[in-house]
Structure 1
Amino acid sequence: MRFSRRDFLKAIAVSTALVSSGCSPTPGGRSAQGTTAGQDVEKWVKGVCRYCGVGCGVLVGVSKGKITTVKGDPDNPVNKGRLCVKGILLPKIMDTKDRLLHPLVKKNGQFVKVTWEEALELIAGKFREAIDQYGPDSVGYYGSGQNIAEEAYVANKLFKGAIGTNNIDGNPRTCMASAVAGYVSTFGKDEPMGTYADIEQADVFFIIGANMAEAHPVLYSSLVDRKNANPNVKIIVADPRRTRTADVADMLLQFIPGTDLALLNSMANVIIEEELTDRTFIDNHTTFLQGEKKLTFAEFKTFLADYTPDRTAGVTGLSAEQIREAARLFADRNRNAMSLWTMGLNQRIRGTWANNLVHNLHLLTGKICRPGNTPFSLTGQPSACGSIREVGALSHLLPAHRVVANPKHREEIAGIWGVDPQKMSPKPGYHTIEMFRAAASGALKVLWVVCTNPGQSIPNLTPYREGMEKTFMIVSEAYHPTRTSELADVVLPAALWMEKEGVYGNGERRTQHIAKAIEPPGEARPDVWALIEVAKRLGFGNLFPYRSNEEIWEEYRKCTVGTKMDLPAYDRLRKEHGLTWPLPDPGGPETSIRYAAPYDPFVKEGIQFYGRPDGRAVIFARPHSGPQEIPDDEYPFYLSTGRVLEHWHTGTMTMNVPELKRAMPEMYAELNPEDAEKIGVKDGEPVKIISRRGECMLKAKLNGRGQPRPGMVYVPFHDTEIARMINFVTIDAFDDASKQPEYKICAVKLVKA
């Protein structure tokens, strides 16, 4: 293969981009911010990184009862020894000045140290009081994609099976629910059919609504490896903001915020009009729907007639030729294509539709269920799949992707749980926004929040923080104070990360075991222990007889047998470096690609989308639909929020790491220089961002690591200071199908402070 000077310069550029994202340029190498591990280590313990949903394997070094160093696990296929800067610095989140070491109860407005017994009795008493007086739907639980699977399973059983309420939801509702709804509506089952291994065989990457370089840096490094190994690999980045991810792109589609549905439909229009479809695949494996109405291929083509590139150009702000070129590149029959997306598509009032339209591109071209060909939703938390989607810890779900509204599903789970199915409610409980509205209205009397920080992360914060103060709120947390624990009535000290044993499930269906490395400090305890202790005090101890996490897991695993989501046994997980389900044979191979022979054990020949009754995936006719709120004369700018490399979620952990805090001590308002000039703001000067809901004050950043389109401002959401918390400004409108809020777009005005 000829390697030109242009190719060489491109290779240098992508390697530079990789290092700037905090990763080593070669697997197993030293991180840009890391040090060689291994000095004075008494033992190494196998685990999984605590941060994003990539699920990097780690080896934790322990000395004198402390975690002293972390290095990438070279035998883990996810990261092959590579870690980003946050992963390398994980030891520094463990012993911090704000670690919570004892239970606290708020008395007369002040937190007072109490015994576990006093705290547990108070919690159980409040639950009993609310349930007896107002019924089971007066209490709720709000969990996290950071929980281990055993914690989420026990919480689900306690609330849905024992108490009899479906008021259990979690923060994955705010980040992944539209991906769930997209997979289920298109394919009949949740989660990707491919794995990270597809990156090594893809020739075209279509990245839309994701800044992988900063939000998923190790996975981004795999993409860069692929690009460096084969200069013919092409990368398309579609994003209203130029990001670090775009540094490696061959094509940047910087569309007007909220117009991605039009873009995706226009790409489909080009694919059909230029006869780039795979008609054999379409005829054998798909059906067309508009709502519930079946369409023919010709009728679907007619639907797309309104989305020609010439017409769509005016809507999206792109040129017609850009749209055609992207569609042709994606559909090139000589190339494998992989799509990657995350919050940019999901956090929208039409996030489900956007997910459907990405799937459409793969189904129209037949680029699916083959190595290097897959639509792939990236995951934001370490176990949002394993501990929420799979366990069923959302208000409408039951374990193994069952739903509460299905009586057969309730009976199946009731049989495993040992409860009366009549006690299990068929009505979905409060989803995230409804749950915090119910707290504000007084309908929710008691709320238990575990391993998450909604007092900072919920959109349109002002009314919801007021609601959290009204309800009796228990917060299980490793740190205090957080913007949620400060509002609580009881704060329970939680064991953190590898202070406990457990299982995570990452974004590629990989189930991974985390061994306990050290004892938790002070009186901190695993959340699963606290949940079981409260269950006993509520009179449900007979339902929770577990003596170990393994016993919990093996009961949960029964829920997955025969569902085509069959999970591996605990003893095998302890030995392996993760396994991708389904694994119907306990000792058999993991599944790399679902729905297709010879990869999927449930498919004997060809491709079968067995989640749907007819075995066919759906190509949806979804019209373009804009955001809930668009700029106007009073609020003339789009606001979008997101992440930076150095920090994660609400900064509870990463702001405790000195190196990360020094690198990014506070968040900022990233402006296009044209807009900054118009409002008279210079780099580093304070700017006030105001919406119809609230405001915050941040320093302007121009020509930084990213740049939004003119008319758009971008703000990371990690800042812990009240004055800089952007979620006082964001909107709480949500997708009707997925119930996921539209963090990504609202209308604001900018005022020089």
Structure 2
Amino acid sequence: MKFSRRDFLKSIAVAAAMTGSGCSFDAGGGKMQGPTSQQDVEQWVKGVCRYCGTGCGVLSGVSKGKIVAVKGDPDCAVNKGKLCVKGILLPKIMDTEDRLLHPLIRKNGRLVRATWDEALDLVAAKFKEAISQYGPDSVAYYGSGQNYAEEAYLANKLFKGCIGTNNIDGNPRTCMASAVAGYTTTFGKDEPMGTYADIEQADVFFIIGANMAEAHPILYSRLVDRKNGNPDVKVIVVDPRRTRTADIADVLLQFVPGTDLALLNSMAYVIIEENLVDRDFVANHTNFMQGEKKISFDEFKSFIADYAPEKAAGICGLPAEQIRAVARLFAAKGRNTMSMWTMGLNQRIRGTWANNLVHNLHLLTGKICKPGNTPFSLTGQPSACGSIREVGALSHLLPAHRVVANAKHREEVARVWGVDPAKMSPKPGYHTIEMFRAAADGRLKALWVVCTNPGQSLPNLELYRQGMEKTFLVVSETYHPTRTSELADVVLPSALWMEKEGIYGNGERRTQHIAKAVEPPGEAKPDVWHLMEVAKRLGFEKFFAYKDTEEIWEEYRKLTVGTKMDLPPYSRLRKEHGLTWPVPDPDGPETYIRYAAPYDPFVKEGINFYGKPDGRAVIFARPQSNAQEMPDSEYPFFFSTGRILEHWHTATMTMNVPEIKRAMPEMYVELNADDAAQIGVKDNDYVHITSRRGQCRLKAKIDGRGQPRPGMAWAPFHDTEISRMINFVTIDAFDDISKQPEYKICAVKIERA
């Protein structure tokens, strides 16, 4: 039976309704089952969805040692029993033809089966050799927002505390780093102050650079419910491409790519000009800054004068009155405003600035730290917050939002780790792009990649694939071959999802426990085990003598106590359906809103942005700045990339689900109808997309699901076929603050194939 993309999209509504009613998906028969016919499930085990950063709670049905069904957890506050189709189909990612069942090592140019001892001994020997000959900075670790927190914590301890290098980074650098930098520069601490509960309290939604309908469908369903339940709710969508999210928009702003800074500044201009500023809030809770210089409100007002809507309109390609109308909606007195964004703002060379300017709007209007009023960065991976940002598994961080450059922070961490603080380097290590550049130019001799696929996902991909072939590459992976494992010298088989126990931290600061439901197949082992075995062979066994994941978590939790990021104990997380930190009392309540009484236990009254020494947030004067690469006569199109509903990341999981693969077997490029006509391209014609870095061949879609503005093309990045891998085209320029690459904009030419 053919299962089309249209069938797949129709099934979303059915799936949401049925899982909300306690139904599950029959992993064997491929059809929805009612609550009383769930394939003789022997037990239901509590977990969290393996895909996006929403953090939907799931219950996995186990029968005869296999996960045979999944349903939404009705007791999880995130999804309240609902799941999207990818979540319902999770059982089908478990036992696949490409599951890696045994260790592999490269011999005579081929990857062949090896024993665990043979593979681990080789890894340890190569890392020892590199460290001995070239120093600790010749080795590196590249992790993932899909790792469990315990895995990332051990990697941090091994590399930063024992080996003595800060060359540990992860794929959240490519998706969330500018959000991190935006929060920390504005508020002094990372992560949102609000939670998803603000959706049900908001009257105005400002969605910029996010396609929630496809990338965060359960959150989008909550937004739709909120709008349908209250006719006064307004939705503003700001995106150069019309997406499915815009289907519920009251206003759609399709601005010229790369001009979002001018647009956000212009909204601030209107808020000031029309006296929509909350002057008491601004006076009591903010400072104004231009670069490193403190300025006055009047000086900020003078700066913003260059962005009057009549001037910004010419930059952004929008009517001036539309800019004014949106600013008024955002700032309307007596109404609650929630902003949401993701990669569209973050994946820019000025992504940090763009984040700052969204925060500016909330600070100027005082629409912050109150129910329904929050600037909220949506997260792309299931534990990008919990296993990277909070654990500190980036090249400049340490656990609980500490930084490697701070001697006091290093000493605090070393005390818990039991290592010599003198061994810990104060110099930030290689961030993602620099790490893979170091592999390409020979500075990096050995690299360990865990639970991610940079051989497909990095920008300017050809250069970095060559670099991975040059260095000694170890890959811990569930599936093989991937576009990274095919380049490896050693491939270690990893347990997947609920084949192991651990912790995820989602985008709203919710810490969630995932129970082990089944045994991993073949010789696959949890990544925690991989790390501990290599640590032992490197001579650090005494630092890794843990008996279980709870012991690892409790050691990590010590580092969060007293930091205002206090995490709950493992024993409680096993019982609960997620808790939003800080939770300073191990038996006490979770925190709804940070920085504000009565919600935040660290604030006695009013609002206190305690990440800043004076308790004040910063309103930044940030000018409009173009993308690194702008269209010209040779490469006349803006080009951008993103996600679609059916697939996730590099599709190592979703392409293993027959229903999804049949619905969307290959990626495509969306063109504006006028542009397509000019270059003589019809719907479903193949085209070559060429940049200064590489080329990709994709089928053209015109007036399809997404509709880019004239002069812009857009493609998903999920395809695994070399000729259709779009990251051969994208640019590796990065934000100088966050070090996040500019996937969202480069210049291309498009020709009929």
User: Common fold, TM-score beyond 0.5?
Assistant: yes
Partner of 2:90: 90
Distance (whole Å) between structure 2 residues aligned to residue 465 and residue 546 of structure 1: 36
Residue 538 of structure 1 corresponds to which residue in structure 2? 538
The equivalent of 1:401 in structure 2 is: 401
Q: Report runs of 4+ in structure 1 exceeding 3 Å deviation.
A: 16-23, 29-37
- Aligned partners of 1:480, 1:623: CA distance in 2, in Å? 46
Distance in 2 separating the partners of 1:666 and 1:23: 23
Q: Is this contact kept in 1: 2:24–2:70, CA < 8 A?
A: no
1:114 counterpart letter in structure 2: A
> 1:18 offset after TM fit, Å?
9.6
Between the aligned partners of 2:468 and 2:33, the Cα distance in structure 1 is: 42
Maintained 8 Å contact 2:449/2:476: yes
Q: Deviations over 1:453-510 (max 9, x none)?
A: 0000000001100000000000000000000000000000000000000000000000
Contact 2:19 2:71 in 1 (8 A): no
Give the equivalent residue in structure 1 for 2:586: 586
Q: Deviations over 1:243-272 (max 9, x none)?
A: 000000000000000000000000000000
Q: Aligned residue for 1:28?
A: 20
| Mapping 1:665-680, distance limit 5 Å | 665-680=665-680
Counterpart residue number, 1:515: 515
Q: What amino acid maps onto 2:685 in structure 1?
A: E
Instruction: Please list, as runs of the form range in 1=range in 2, the aligned pairs for 1:601-680 lying within 5 A after superposition.
Output: 601-680=601-680
- 1: CA distance between counterparts of 2:118 and 2:477? 18
Say if 1:19 and 1:25, in contact at 8 Å, map to a contact too: no
Q: Which amino acid aligns with 2:93?
A: I
> Structure 2 matches for 1:127-146, cutoff 5 A?
127-146=127-146
* CA deviation map 1:625-657 (0-9, x unaligned): 110001000000000000000000000000000
Q: 1:530-588 deviations in whole A, cap 9, x for unaligned?
A: 10000001110000110000000000000001100000000000000000000111100
Kindly indicate whether the alpha-carbon contact (under 8 Å) linking 1:179 and 1:355 is maintained by their aligned counterparts in 2: yes
| Contact 2:12–2:85 under 8 Å retained in 1 | no
C-alpha displacement of 1:25: 5.1
Structure 2 partner of 1:5: none
Superposition deviation, residue 295 in structure 1: 1.1
Q: What amino acid maps onto 1:747 in structure 2? A: A
Residue 251 of structure 1 corresponds to: 251
1:562-581 correspondence to structure 2 within 5 Å: 562-581=562-581
Q: What CA deviation, in whole Å up to 9, does each residue of 1:276-297 have, x standing for no partner? A: 0100000000000001111111
Indicate the residue corresponding to 1:11 in structure 2.
none
Structure 1 unaligned blocks of 5 or more: 1-15
Q: 1:22, CA displacement in angstroms?
A: 7.7
Tell me what 1:441 maps to.
Answer: 441
Counterpart for residue 171 of structure 2:
171
| Alignment match, 2:304 | 304
Q: CA–CA distance in 2 between the matches of 1:749 and 1:401?
A: 42
1:348-747 alignment, distance < 5 Å:
348-747=348-747
Give the aligned partner of residue 340 of structure 1: 340
The aligned residue for residue 5 of structure 2 is none
Cα distance in 2 for partners of 1:19, 1:41 equals 23
Q: How far did 1:115 drift?
A: 0.4
- How far apart in 2 are the matches of 1:68 and 1:515? 16
Aligned length: 738
Which amino acid in the other structure matches residue 123 of structure 2?
I
TM-score (norm 2): 0.97
**Contact 1:460/1:729 (CA < 8 Å) preserved in 2?**
yes
Deviation digits for residues 402-429 of structure 1 (CA, Å, limit 9, x no counterpart): 0000000000000000011000000000
Taking the aligned partners of 2:95 and 2:337, their CA distance within structure 1 comes to 44
* Paired position in structure 2 for 1:13: none
| Matches of 1:27 and 1:254, distance apart in 2 | 35
CA distance in 2, matches of 1:253, 1:669: 21
Distance across 2 between alignment mates of 1:203 and 1:224:
12
Amino acid corresponding to residue 513 of structure 2 in structure 1? H
Aligned residue number for residue 63 of structure 2: 63
Q: Name the structure 1 match of 2:28.
A: none
**Cα 1:359–1:23, aligned 2, differ >3 Å: closer, same or farther?**
farther
> Could you say what secondary structure the match of 1:140 adopts?
strand
- Aligned mates of 1:657, 1:582 — CA distance in 2: 37
Distance 1:201 1:642 in 2: 29
Tell me if structure 1 keeps the 8 A contact 2:256–2:316.
yes
SS at match of 1:24: helix
Q: Distance in 2 between matches of 1:337 and 1:418?
A: 46
Identical-residue share of aligned pairs (%): 79
User: What SS is found at the alignment partner of 2:741?
Assistant: coil
Shift of 1:231: 1.1
Whichever residue aligns with residue 707 of structure 1, its letter is Q
The whole-number CA distance in structure 2 between the counterparts of 1:18 and 1:561 is 47
Partner AA of 1:481 in structure 2: P
Provide the secondary structure at the position in 2 that maps to 1:58: strand
- Alpha carbons 1:141, 1:447 under 8 Å: kept: yes
- The match for 2:3 is none
Where does residue 323 of structure 1 map in the other structure?
323
For residues 99-129 of structure 1, give each alpha carbon's deviation from its aligned partner in whole angstroms, at most 9, with x where no partner exists. 0000000101111101000001000000110
CA–CA distance in structure 2, aligned partners of residues 39 and 575 of structure 1: 26
SS at match of 1:179: helix
In the TM superposition, residue 23 of structure 1 has moved relative to its aligned partner by 5.5
Greater shift in the superposed pair: 82-91 or 31-40 = 31-40
Query: Is structure 2 residue 116 aligned with structure 1 residue 116?
Result: yes
Is the contact between residue 18 and residue 221 of structure 1 (CA under 8 Å) also seen in structure 2? no
* Contact 1:148 1:387 (8 Å CA) reproduced: yes
* Mapped contact 2:12–2:84 kept (Cα < 8 A): no
Distance in 1 (alpha carbons) for counterparts of 2:96 and 2:558? 39
Q: Taking structure 1 as the reference length, what is the TM-score of the superposition?
A: 0.97
**Alignment of structure 1 residues 160-239 onto 2, 5 Å:** 160-239=160-239
Q: Tell me the equivalent position of 1:54.
A: 54
1:139-196 Cα distance to aligned partner (Å, 9 max, x none): 0000000000000000000000000000000000000000000000000000000000
8 Å CA contact 1:277–1:364 kept in 2: the answer is yes
